[in-house]
Structure 1
Amino acid sequence: MHNDEAEVDHDSTINEARLWRDNGWTARVIKNEDDEGWAVEMIKDGESEPALVGPWTMGRDKKNPKPLDTPAFHTLVKTASEVIRRHEQQLHADLHKSVTVNTATASITVNLDIVPDEDDPYATLSAIDENGEQIAEVRVAPNFKLTRSSASDWIDAEYRKPR
């Protein structure tokens, strides 16, 4: 965050050539550090890092950036929102794993839910029966590898905490 923006009123709408704020988002046209051109960064209110940084079009004078406008802003919001959604989906996929094991008597779903706590990360291994009832749960290391084989071993060990 830039020093001159420490106190930003996120409720105010701004529609300027290089700064546009509306609907919980701020678009800022900035000098592209990698080349001679311009870039645009999209920052969601309350976040310190941009959700999206991308190239921005030069204006007609081939020196200054094209001014922001309503259609461009809406497209940027849509794109930045999609980037955040994909990131959240990936994070969810990284933290929640599930396998189903068919035993001689039942089909058991084993879930691994990782809690990425900075001080004490851990994971929970749980077993769910065909009726959706939880039949076991143990705390495991956050780096526990859930595979069909490790799930079967846990079931075979009568849900005792894996080593």
Structure 2
Amino acid sequence: MTDSELQGENDTTLHEARLWRDDGWTARVIKNEDDDGWAVQMIKDGEAEPALTGPWTMGRDKKNPKPLDPNAFRTLVKTVSEVLRRHEQQRHAILHKDVTVRANGEDVLVTLDIVPDEDDPYADLKASDSLGTPLAHVRVSAGFKLSKTSAQAWVDNDFRAPD
């Protein structure tokens, strides 16, 4: 079997007025349950739930939805990618904190990385010097509050696990 035949068998590209599948994404135009309008769902390949659902433009007849087209699909992919990127940044900001404190005249970077395990959430509290060399690592409660004060106290206490 040739490469192009293999690609054709695995190709899930679909371009229809209300369903567009390409580049790892599916755009589906659906009836908006909240009003008389239309909505579009963007679903990443392999995912069960839409990554984004938003309003969709009415067609010229003011009854049916505007059909999907290459430009609209590219815009939707760009939008959903940006939304997912922002969610990831927000999640990282919630789960990762860092502060710099001084110890023996040197900067010490203290980081807290929360591991949101469903059964046993915890956090890793780590310290490293200005060159990135690890100085200490302890496991703490996921509720541990990292601040300059708590970081300095940990460093000053010879990196003993905080209470």
TM-score by length of 2: 0.91
- Cα shift readout 1:105-156 (whole Å, capped 9, x = no counterpart): 2110000011111122111100111121111110000111100111011011
Identify the residue that residue 72 of structure 1 maps to in structure 2: 72
Cα distance, 1:26 vs structure 2: 0.3
Cα distance, 1:103 vs structure 2: 3.1
How has the CA–CA distance of structure 1 residues 10 and 143 changed in structure 2, closer, same or farther, with 3 Å as cutoff? farther
Identical pairs, percent:
68
RMSD: 1.4
Identify the residue that residue 6 of structure 2 maps to in structure 1: none
Aligned amino acid, residue 160 of structure 2: R
Q: Mapping of 1:108-127 within 5 angstroms? A: 108-127=108-127
Q: Point out where structure 1 has 5 or more consecutive residues left out of the alignment.
A: 1-8
- Cα shift readout 1:7-58 (whole Å, capped 9, x = no counterpart): xx98411111100000000000011111110010101111122111111010
Q: Distance in 2 between matches of 1:159 and 1:50?
A: 44
Identify the residue that residue 107 of structure 2 maps to in structure 1: 107
Q: Distance in 1 between matches of 2:29 and 2:83?
A: 19
Matched, 1:40 2:40: yes
Q: Secondary structure at the match of 2:111?
A: strand
Paired residues in the alignment total 155
- Cα shift readout 1:64-88 (whole Å, capped 9, x = no counterpart): 0000011000100000011111111
Q: Secondary structure at the match of 2:33?
A: coil
Q: What stretches of structure 1 move > 6 A for 4+ residues in a row?
A: none
Equivalent pair of 2:102/2:108 in contact (CA under 8 Å): yes
Q: Distance in 2 between matches of 1:55 and 1:121?
A: 37
TM-score by length of 1: 0.91
Identify the residue that residue 90 of structure 2 maps to in structure 1: 90
Q: Point out where structure 2 has 5 or more consecutive residues left out of the alignment.
A: 1-8
Aligned amino acid, residue 16 of structure 1: E
Q: Secondary structure at the match of 1:159?
A: coil
Deviates more, 1:17-26 or 1:86-95: 86-95
Identify the residue that residue 6 of structure 1 maps to in structure 2: none
